[in-house]
Amino acid sequence: MAFIECDRLTHVYLKNTPMETVALRDVTLAIDEGEFVAIIGPTGSGKSTLVQHFNALLRPTSGSVRVAGQDLGDPKADLKRTRQQVGLLFQYPEHQLFEESVFEDVAFGPRNMGLNTDEVKTRVQEALTAVGLDPAAFGPRSPFALSGGEMRRVAAAGVLAMSPKVLVLDEPAAGLDPRGKVEILGRFRSLHAQRGITVVLITHDMDEAAALAQRVIVLDEGRVVMDGPARTVFTRADDLARLGLTVPTVTNVVRRLRGHGLRIRDDVLNADEARSAIREALGWN
Amino acid sequence: MELTRYVTIGQYIPRDSPVHRLDPRTKIAAVTLLMVAIFVVRDFLGYALLGAFLLGVIALSHIPIGYVLRGLRPILFLLLLTVILNMFFSGVQGGTEVFRIWRLVATREGIIRAVFIGLRLVGLVVVTSLLTFTTSPVELTDGIERILRPFRRIGVPAHELAMMMTIALRFIPTLLEETEKIMKAQMARGAEFDRGGVLRRARALVPVLVPLFVSAFRRADELALAMEARCYRGGDQRTRMKELRFSPRDAVALAIAVAVSVVFAVPYGLWQRLLP
Amino acid sequence: MPPLIETRNLRHVYNAGTTSAVVAVDGISLTINQGEFVAIVGGNGSGKSTLAKHFNALLLPTGGEVYVDGRDTRTRASVWDIRQRVGMVFQNPDNQLVATVVEEDVAFGPENLGVPPAEIAARVEEALRTVNMLEYRRHAPHLLSGGQKQRVAIAGILAMRPQCLVLDEATTMLDPQGQREVIETIRRLNASGVTVIHITHAMDEAALAHRVIALQDGRIGLDGSPADVFARAEDLERMGLALPLIPALARRLREDGIPLPPGILSVDQLVDAVSALRPGQTARTNPNGVH
C-alpha cells in the first residue's frame, strides 16, 4: 500500500461565495515510501493546495486522502501523527522562525510531539547536523542574525526534527544565491539517498526537477495531466509547452539538435548525460 | 484568502451609483451629520424615519442590503452584550417592572433604553459601512487629507495621517495572508491553536505573532526605502493625479444631509409643540 | 558629457567605528554610460545590493565618491534630481507598492516630483502601456501575480521619466513566467534607450546583458562582456558563482576535445555549433576529423 493516497481529491476555496475557486479537481495519485517526486505546474495550478492535504492542513471538499493507511477525513483520525509523519516545508520558511535561539526554534516541533528534554536535544542535534549546521556553533545563536541560506536550513531542520517519513518541500531553493541553492538541494538529495526519506518537491525549475526527482507529476488547473518517470515526462516538450512549461535546458539542447538532423538520444536529464550523448552522436569517443 | 471572507466592514464595492460619484468630502461630512442625528434621536418614530432614509440611500447606492447587514455580524456579540447590560443595569430606579431573572429586574424604561442603544449601534455601523462601501480607499484618504488640511496650521499632520491610512489599507490583505501562512507552517510543526484554556491559547500565538511582527517591520523598512527611491519627501510640494471636485450634486447631497439631521435632531415632542 | 554613473574608489562600511563594523563595498571604481545594459552578479554578501543603493543616493559613500550625471551624491540639493534620474525596483514585489489601486501607485513618483495632474495622468497611462499593464490600471495590487506586481513597480519608476533603471534582485522572488515578463520588459526598455542595471544571482539572466560585473567581497572580480566573463569559469567558481548551464556544458565538451568555438552562451549558439560538427559535415569546421 502506498504511503500517501489521494482518491478523487477535489478542493474548492470559498465555496458558495462569489469568489469560489476550484483548486483541485478529481486528483488521484499515490506516493510510495522512498520515492523522490517532483510536482510541477504553472502558478495557480494547485501544487501548494495539493500538498497541504498530505498533512491535513487542508481538508478535501470531496474525495479522500489516506496517509499511512489512515483516512484523514475520519473524525477520529490522529492528525498529530500525520503531521509528524509528513513534514511540510513552506516557501520562504525562514519567515516562520520565532525563537531566541536556533536550538529552541528547531526544538519547537519535537516539544509539540511531547518528547522529553533528552530526546528533544538529540533530535535537534541530528536535524541541525543533517542540514550541515554545527549544533554547538549554531544552536545558541539567534536565528535572525544568520544569512538567508542558513536561516533556510534552520527552518528545514525544524521540520526534520520531527523525524518525518515524508518531506514535502515547496520551492525550497527559491530566492537563494547559487551557492545556497546547491547546498540545500544537496542536503535533501542525501537525506533521500542515505536515509531513504520520501521527498515530494514542488518546483518551478525544471533543471532542478530533472536533477533530483525520479518521478514527475504535472498539474494544470487542478488536474493531474502527466505522471511518470522524469525521463518520460520531460521528452513531452510540446505537451509541456502547451501548459506554459519548459523542459530542462539540456533536454532542450538535444531536442533541438535532433531537429537539426543529428541522431542523438532525446531523454537526457542532466549535463553529464548531455555531454556523453553529444559525444556519442558526434562519434567522438 | 480564507480570513478576508469574514470581514466586510471597510470593504469598497465598486458600483456606478449617484452615491459613489459624490465627492468623498461630501460623504464624510454627511456621515458625520447623520451620526450626530443617530445619537440625538429620542423616539421610535424618529428611528423609523431615519431607518427609512438610510434604506433609501442604500437603494440609491446599488449596494445589496445583505452586504450591509453582513457588516453587522462581527459586532453581533457586542450588540447583544450592550443591549442586555443596558436592559438590567441602566440605573433606572423605580421603573415599571416588566420581568425579572433571579435578582435582575428589567424595567420598561430600561428595555426602551437598551433598544435605543442597540439601534444607535446598528445605525452607526450601517452609516459607516455605507461610506466605505461607496468610497474607494484612495478617495477616502484624499477626502480626509483635504478636510484636515486647514488644521495643519495648528499641527494636525493631515498628509501623514492620510498616508498612514493608505499604507495600512494596502497591507491589511498582505498581512492577513501572511498570518494564515505562518499559522499553517507552525501547525505543520505540531502547533495547536484550538486546544486548552485561554492562557494556553494565548501562548500558542507567540510562534505566529513573533514572525508576523518581524515580517511587518521588514516590510516597513523596505517600503520606506522604496518610497524614498521614488522621491517621497512628505506632503509639501506634492501634487495629486486626481483632484477632488465639488459638484452641484454634492451641494444637493449635503443640503439633504443637513436637513435630515436637523429634522431628526429635534425630538418628536418638540415638533408637536412647535407646529400648530 | 559625463558618464551616467561613476564611482571612484567607493567604500561602504556599515556600523563604522563599532565592533560590528562590516565592509560591504571595498574600493569599487566603475563607469556606466547612458544606454548600457549591465548585469551585476555576486553571491550573498558580495556587496552588490549595497553598491546598487549608491547609484541613487539611498546610501552615501563612507569613502570615495559617486557621481550621477555629473552630480556628487553627497550634495543634499541634488538628491531628488538623482533619484528622479536613477529609478530602482526592489526584490519583494509586495513591499514597494504603496497605493491600493495600480494607477494610483504608478502616480506616486510623479506626484512626489510635483508634476501637474493632467501630465501625471498621461505619464501613468504611458508607463502602464509600456509594461503591458494598462488593462489592470484599476486593480488592487495584492491580487496581481508576482511578475505583474514587478511590472507595475517598473511602471511606477518609468512615470518619473528616469534615464536609468536599477533592478535590485527584482526577479529573485518570481516564478519563471514572472521572470520572463520582467526580463522581456527591461530588454525592451533598454532597446528604447533606458540604461538598465540588473542585479541578480541568476547567471542565465546575466548572460542576456551587454556587460557583466562580478563582485566578490565588495570588490570587482570580473568586468566584461558575458562571453569574456563566462570564459573565466575557474574565477567564477572561486567567487561562489556557477557558470550558467550552457557555457558549463560547452566547456566540458571542449575539455573532451570537441572543437567548439569560444563564447557560447545560449542554447541556440550551442545547437548551431554542435550541428556544424556533426558527422558528414565538411571537415572544414572540424579539422581533426573523427578520432
The arithmetic mean of pLDDT across residues C231-241, rounded, is: 89
Which one of A147, A205, A260 has the shortest CB-CB distance to C271?
A260
- How far does Cα C40 stand from its chain's mean position? 6
Q: What percent of chain A has pLDDT over 90?
A: 89
Contact C274 A244 (CB under 8 A): no
Q: What is the pLDDT of residue B173?
A: 85
Q: Does A40 touch chain C (CB under 8 A)?
A: no
User: How far is residue C264's CA from residue C251's CA, in Å, rounded to a whole number?
Assistant: 9
User: How far is residue C257's CA from residue C239's CA, in Å, rounded to a whole number?
Assistant: 27
Q: What is the pLDDT of residue C84?
A: 96
- Least trusted range by pLDDT, from A27-31, A137-141, A201-205, B5-9: B5-9
Contact C90 B138 (CB under 8 A): no
Burial class, A205, CB count within 10 angstroms (exposed 0-12 / middle 13-18 / buried 19+)? buried
Q: Is residue A170 part of a domain?
A: yes
- Summarize pLDDT for A245-273 with one digit per residue, the tens: 999 999 999 999 999 989 999 889 999 99
Which one of C176, C240, C275 has the shortest CB-CB distance to A260?
C275
DSSP H helices, chain C, are: 48-54, 79-85, 102-112, 117-130, 146-158, 176-191, 203-206, 226-230, 233-238, 245-255, 267-275
Task: Give the global pTM.
Answer: 0.87
- Residue A15 banded pLDDT, cuts 50, 70, 90: confident
Q: What is the pLDDT of residue B276?
A: 59
Contact B222 C142 (CB under 8 A): no
Q: Which residues of B touch A (CB under 8 A)?
A: 1-2, 5, 178, 181-182, 184-192, 206-207, 210-211, 214-215
Which one of B138, B239, B241 has the shortest CB-CB distance to C124?
B241
The arithmetic mean of pLDDT across residues A87-92, rounded, is: 96
Three-class DSSP category at A169 = strand
User: How far is residue B102's CA from residue A52's CA, in Å, rounded to a whole number?
Assistant: 51
pLDDT at B181 exceeding the cut of 90:
yes
Distance from CA of B181 to the nearest CA of A (A): 8
Name residue C11's beta-bridge partners: C26, C63
Q: pLDDT higher for A32 or C243?
A: A32
Q: What is the pLDDT of residue B268?
A: 60
Contact C44 A179 (CB under 8 A): yes
- Residue C291 banded pLDDT, cuts 50, 70, 90: very low
User: How far is residue C148's CA from residue C166's CA, in Å, rounded to a whole number?
Assistant: 18
- Summarize pLDDT for B96-155 with one digit per residue, the tens: 777 777 777 778 888 888 888 888 889 998 998 899 889 988 888 889 988 998 888 888
Helix pair A271-281, C245-255: axis angle to 10 deg: 50
Q: What percent of chain C has pLDDT over 70?
A: 96
Containing H/E element for A70?
Answer: strand A70-71
Q: Does B239 touch chain C (CB under 8 A)?
A: yes
- Summarize pLDDT for B201-234 with one digit per residue, the tens: 888 999 999 999 999 999 999 999 999 999 999 8
Name residue A104's beta-bridge partners: none
Residue C21: CB atoms within 10 A of its CB come to: 11
Which one of A179, A244, A285 has the shortest CB-CB distance to C240?
A179
Q: Is residue A259 part of a domain?
A: no
- Summarize pLDDT for C103-140 with one digit per residue, the tens: 999 999 999 999 999 999 999 999 999 999 999 998 88
Residues of chain A contacting C277 with CB distance shorter than 8 Å:
282
Contact A112 B187 (CB under 8 A): no
Chain A CA closest to residue C270: A253
Residues of chain A contacting C93 with CB distance shorter than 8 Å:
none
Mean pLDDT for chain C overall = 92
Q: Is residue A212 part of a domain?
A: yes
Helix pair A249-259, C245-255: axis angle to 10 deg: 70
Q: Does C63 touch chain A (CB under 8 A)?
A: no
Q: Which of B28, B58, B41 is nearest to B120 (CA)?
A: B41
Q: Which of A162, A169, A175 is nearest to A189 (CA)?
A: A169
Burial class, B202, CB count within 10 angstroms (exposed 0-12 / middle 13-18 / buried 19+)? exposed
- Residue B1 banded pLDDT, cuts 50, 70, 90: very low
Q: Is residue A263 part of a domain?
A: no
Three-class DSSP category at C269 = helix
**Residue C138 identity:** R
Residues of chain C contacting A283 with CB distance shorter than 8 Å:
279, 290
Q: pLDDT higher for C29 or B157?
A: C29
- Residue B8 banded pLDDT, cuts 50, 70, 90: low
Q: Is residue A202 part of a domain?
A: yes
pLDDT at C92 exceeding the cut of 50:
yes
Cα angle, residue C240 at apex, residues C236 and C246 outer, rounded to 5°: 55
Which one of C256, C267, C279 has the shortest CB-CB distance to A249?
C267
The arithmetic mean of pLDDT across residues C72-76, rounded, is: 95
Q: Is residue B50 within 8 Å of B36, Cβ to Cβ?
A: no
Q: Which three cell numbers stand for residue A256?
A: 533541438
Distance from CA of C291 to the nearest CA of A (A): 6
**How many domains does chain A fold into?**
1
Q: Is residue A165 within 8 Å of A86, Cβ to Cβ?
A: yes
β-pairing verdict for C63-68 and C5-14:
antiparallel
Which one of B5, B185, B192 has the shortest CB-CB distance to A96?
B185
Q: List chains adjacent to chain C, taking adjacency as at least 3 C-beta pairs closer than 8 Å.
A: A, B
Site from B189, B200, B218 to mutate, A interface, most A CB atoms within 10 angstroms = B189
Site from C76, C83, C104 to mutate, B interface, most B CB atoms within 10 angstroms = C104
Q: Is residue B117 within 8 Å of B75, Cβ to Cβ?
A: no
Contact C278 A261 (CB under 8 A): yes
What range does the domain containing A239 cover?
A: 2-247
Task: Assign residue A35 the CATH number of its domain.
Answer: 3.40.50.300
pLDDT at A281 exceeding the cut of 50:
yes
Contact B230 C56 (CB under 8 A): no
Q: Is residue C267 within 8 Å of C254, Cβ to Cβ?
A: no
Q: Is residue A20 part of a domain?
A: yes
Q: Which of C49, C37, C44 is nearest to C12 (CA)?
A: C49
Residues of chain A contacting B206 with CB distance shorter than 8 Å:
98
pLDDT at A285 exceeding the cut of 70:
no
Q: What strand order describes the sheet that includes C22-32?
A: C22-32, C5-14, C63-68, C71-72
Which one of C80, C90, C141 has the shortest CB-CB distance to B226?
C90
Which one of A149, A250, A256 has the shortest CB-CB distance to C44?
A149
Most distant CA pair in chain A, distance: 65
β-pairing verdict for A4-13 and A215-220:
unpaired
DSSP symbol at B135: S
Chain C CA closest to residue B173: C142
Q: Does C142 touch chain A (CB under 8 A)?
A: no
Q: Which three cell numbers stand for residue A183?
A: 547546498
User: How far is residue C172's CA from residue C87's CA, in Å, rounded to a whole number?
Assistant: 18
Q: What is the pLDDT of residue A136?
A: 96
Q: Does C75 touch chain A (CB under 8 A)?
A: no
The arithmetic mean of pLDDT across residues C274-284, rounded, is: 72
- Least trusted range by pLDDT, from A234-243, B45-54, B103-112, C64-73: B103-112
Q: List chains adjacent to chain A, taking adjacency as at least 3 C-beta pairs closer than 8 Å.
A: B, C
Which one of B174, B225, B241 has the shortest CB-CB distance to C121?
B241
User: How far is residue A43's CA from residue A222's CA, in Å, rounded to a whole number?
Assistant: 11
Contact A43 C175 (CB under 8 A): yes
The arithmetic mean of pLDDT across residues A59-63, rounded, is: 95
Contacts of B200 (CB under 8 A, 6+ apart): none
User: How far is residue A26's CA from residue B80's CA, in Å, rounded to a whole number?
Assistant: 44
Q: Which of B151, B267, B171 is nearest to B219 (CA)?
A: B171
Distance from CA of A154 to the nearest CA of C (A): 17
Window C:226-245, CB contacts with A under 8 Å? 240-242, 245
- Least trusted range by pLDDT, from A114-118, A139-143, A223-227, B104-108: B104-108
Q: List chains adjacent to chain B, taking adjacency as at least 3 C-beta pairs closer than 8 Å.
A: A, C
Burial class, A144, CB count within 10 angstroms (exposed 0-12 / middle 13-18 / buried 19+)? middle
Three-class DSSP category at A59 = coil
Predicted ipTM of the assembly? 0.91
Contact A282 C279 (CB under 8 A): yes
Contact B211 A96 (CB under 8 A): yes
Contact B186 A108 (CB under 8 A): yes
Distance from CA of A233 to the nearest CA of B (A): 31
Which one of A42, A177, A260 has the shortest CB-CB distance to C44?
A177
Q: What strand order describes the sheet that includes A215-220?
A: A86-89, A166-170, A198-202, A36-40, A215-220, A223-229
Q: Is residue A185 part of a domain?
A: yes
Residues of chain A contacting C288 with CB distance shorter than 8 Å:
none
Distance from CA of A111 to the nearest CA of B (A): 9
Q: What is the pLDDT of residue C286?
A: 46
Q: Is residue A72 part of a domain?
A: yes
Which one of B178, B187, B206 has the shortest CB-CB distance to A98?
B206
Q: Is residue C55 within 8 Å of C166, Cβ to Cβ?
A: yes
User: How far is residue B2's CA from residue C121's CA, in Å, rounded to a whole number?
Assistant: 36
Residues of chain A contacting B191 with CB distance shorter than 8 Å:
108, 112
Give the B:C interface size as CB pairs under 8 Å: 100
Chain B CA closest to residue A21: B1
- Residue B73 banded pLDDT, cuts 50, 70, 90: confident
Residues of chain C contacting B138 with CB distance shorter than 8 Å:
99-101, 104
Tell which phi-psi region holds residue A32, choosing left (phi > 0), alpha (psi between -120 and 50) or beta: beta
